[in-house]
Amino acid sequence: MLAPELGDCAWRKSSYSGGGSGGGDCIEVADLPHRTAIRDSKNPSGPALAFTSAAWDGFVTGIKSTRPR
């Protein structure tokens, strides 16, 4: 799916993305009904991936459980 096909989604980027030179390499996330979409912040009109809410929640939980504290 192309990001423009997602309409007027509210895309957001992690506050940890920094900004450094070139704005950092990061993804943007948008909450949709029953899905979560992600896209490359450097290519906002390019392709986006959409995941079920359950799949996205599992991904986020997994990331949080493996990062150093």
Query: Domain-by-domain residue ranges, the chain?
Result: 26-55
What is the predicted pLDDT for the residue at 7?
Answer: 74
Tens-level pLDDT at each residue, the chain (69 residues): 656 667 788 999 877 776 555 556 788 999 988 899 998 888 888 889 999 999 999 999 998 888 676
Residue 33 to residue 19: CA distance in whole angstroms: 29
CA 62 to chain CA mean position, Å: 15
Q: Which pTM does this prediction carry?
A: 0.73
Q: What is the pLDDT of residue 37?
A: 93
What torsion, rounded to 10 degrees, do the Cα atoms 38, 66, 21, 25 define? -20
pLDDT of residue 1: 61
